[in-house]
Amino acid sequence: MPVALRIAAYLRKYPGYAVGTISAALLSTLLGLVYPRLTGYLIDDVIAKGQKDRLPWLVGVLLLVFLGRDGLNALRILLNNLFEQKVILDLRRDLYSAFQRLSTSWYDHRSSGDLLTRVSEDVMNMERMLIDGIEQGLIALLQLFGVGFILFRIDPLLAAWSLAPIPFLAAGALYYTLTAHPRYRIQRKASSALNSLLMDHLQGMKQIKTYGWLQEGANRFEKVAQDVRTASLGIMKAWAFYSPSMAWLAAAGTCLVLWVGGRSVLDGKMAVGELVAFLLYVGMFYEPVGRLHSLNQLIQAGRAAGERVFSILDAEPEPGHLPSAPLVKLPARQGSAREVIFKNIHFSYRTGKEVLHGIDLKIPAGTSLALVGPTGAGKTTLASLVARFHDPTSGEVLLDGTPLPQIALEELRREVGVVTQEPFLFQATVREISSWANQEPPISRSKEFCRPPVRSTLSALFLMAGIRKLVREVSDSVPESGRGYPSPGLF
């Protein structure tokens, strides 16, 4: 399905905003069409005939017309921005939900900076393509046909001359549309690469300084920054030729009107006010043509961004997100532990090389087992199968006799805990982080250093004394990755 049609599905949730935005834009455009006709009337029937008494109230009518036009435009901008932000929120919410559905192995081959770019920048470009594209494009087309109709009503021959550049404008727009998409795709990829490298280097700045990699880091950053510069200049160079060329062709239409219309005035076939009104309408005719050229650039950027966003939304979710077998409830736990059984487990990653070969293992409930082996032997892989971060290539894992595919993921991960090798601290308060383990909302206004549920969690982890040394209260925020705090070993 085309990207534009898929984005359009997000607009159906807000028909009121869509109708309100387009209606305000349409009424504002219609009021703008009154101005040239009133101006021609003022010149020919008021000023030329010396009717001073009619001048003030006609100018007052013009002021009211402009007030209505600009007031409706203000309403359009307000509704448009509310509409935009709702669609952006929906897109970002769906993206984050997709991130949570994807398997951990999916992230092994993606950079955080690239994914961040898709959520922050690509979503904005998608939304602008559709909301601004539909609104501005529809109004531009209506203005084109409306003004064109008025031009032919005033003087068909002069109107035909004024439209002479249109075939050349259409050909230029078609050429730009067919050639622009690859340039925008390259620019989006280069921008993502820049953000990825920057996030990587900022997180590893301590290591860069420690090992004296400052120059190497600067060289890598220079390369990706130059790639963004080159890609952006490629877009701008094409636009620098395309946009002024289209503007010159539009101006040629005005010049043709001045030449043919000027001769009609000199021959007495047309009044000066009629020519002025006609010229104003010609300007109003070519203004939406220029707007459509700008929207063409917006649409090409949105298409490239949409491809990147929907590649995430269309990615296959992790095993178990869509159950492949009927789900069953786990039997009641006997004590505080459950039995885990591995039956003839084989597993390989995307490379195709098998990591686990026919593993048969039974871990009785309440027992401890240490897996010992060199790096790459498959210890972490075997543990990750229990939490269904991966599914075995063949064989099965059972929890208390129940195959893991028959257990809902949410229930399974309530029963199975995985302690990762690398510690990770979220950016939140100590109370918020510890309350996640208790599955209850934090009490943000508490005057106590620690409420009982939070205290029990921290005490169980032997962290209470260490936290008291580092923070005054659990409402203090933990900086990114715990920077500025001693390592847990110093507690």
50-61 per-position pLDDT tens digit: 777 878 888 888
In this structure, the answer to whether residues 93 and 183 fall within a common structural domain is yes
In a domain, 420, yes or no: no
Inside any domain, residue 228: yes
Q: Bigger pLDDT: 439 or 159? A: 159
378 lies in the same domain as 453: no
pLDDT of residue 459: 64
Same domain, yes or no: 438 and 292: no
Indicate which CATH number applies to the domain containing 357: 3.40.50.300
Residue 319 lies in a domain: no
Run of H or E including 397:
strand 394-399
Query: Is the domain of 266 the same as that of 398?
Result: no
Same domain, 346 and 480: no
Q: Is the pLDDT of residue 334 over 70?
A: yes
In terms of domains, do 156 and 283 share one?
A: yes
Task: With CA atoms as reference, report the closest residue to 296 among 239, 230, 251, 236.
Answer: 239
Q: Which amino acid is at 171?
A: A
Looking at the structure, tell me whether residues 156 and 202 fall in a common domain: yes
The domain boundary, picked from 294, 313, 332, lies at: 313
Closest CA to 242 of 294, 201, 302: 294
Asked if residue 184 is part of any domain, the answer here is yes
Q: Are residues 211 and 298 in the same domain?
A: yes
CATH number of the domain where residue 226 is located: 1.20.1560.10
Predicted pLDDT at 457:
60
Residue 471 lies in a domain: yes
Check pLDDT > 70 for residue 446. Answer: no
E strands, 174-297, are none
Cβ neighbours for 299, distance < 8 A, ≥ 6 positions apart: 4, 129, 133
Residues 91, 124: Cα–Cα separation, whole Å: 9
3-state secondary structure of 347: strand
Asked if pLDDT for residue 102 goes beyond 70, the answer is yes
Distances in whole angstroms, Cα of residue 38 to Cα of each of 97, 142, 274: 55, 21, 10
Q: Given a cut of 70, is residue 150 above it in pLDDT?
A: yes
**Domain termination residue (choose one: 276, 297, 313):** 313
Most confident of 122-131, 246-255, 432-441: 246-255
Instruction: Share the mean pLDDT of the chain.
Output: 79
Does 440 have pLDDT greater than 70? no
Torsions phi, psi of 348, nearest 5?
A: -140, 145
Domain range holding 464? 430-490
Over residues 116-133, the mean pLDDT reads 77
179 and 111 belong to one structural domain: yes
Q: Is 423 contained in some domain?
A: no
Domain end, chosen from 313, 330, 356, is at 313
Residue 359: φ, ψ to 5°: -80, 125
Q: Are residues 353 and 295 in the same domain?
A: no
- Does residue 96 fall inside a structural domain? yes
Tokens of 193: 């690469």
The segment with the largest mean pLDDT, out of 203-217, 362-376, 444-458, is 362-376
- Domains: count for the chain: 3
What is the end-to-end Cα distance of the chain in Å, rounded? 56
Statement to judge: residues 174 and 289 lie in one domain = yes
The dihedral over CA atoms of 472, 474, 480, 482, expressed in degrees to the nearest 10, equals 70
* pLDDT top residue among 411 and 325: 411
Is the domain of 286 the same as that of 404? Answer: no
Q: Confirm if 470 and 486 have CB atoms less than 8 A apart.
A: yes
Alpha-carbon distance of 427 to 442, in angstroms, equals 15
Note the pLDDT of residue 477.
61
What's the predicted TM-score (pTM) here? 0.66
Nearest Cα to 391, choosing from 331, 349, 339, 329?
349
pLDDT band per the 50, 70, 90 thresholds, residue 71? very high
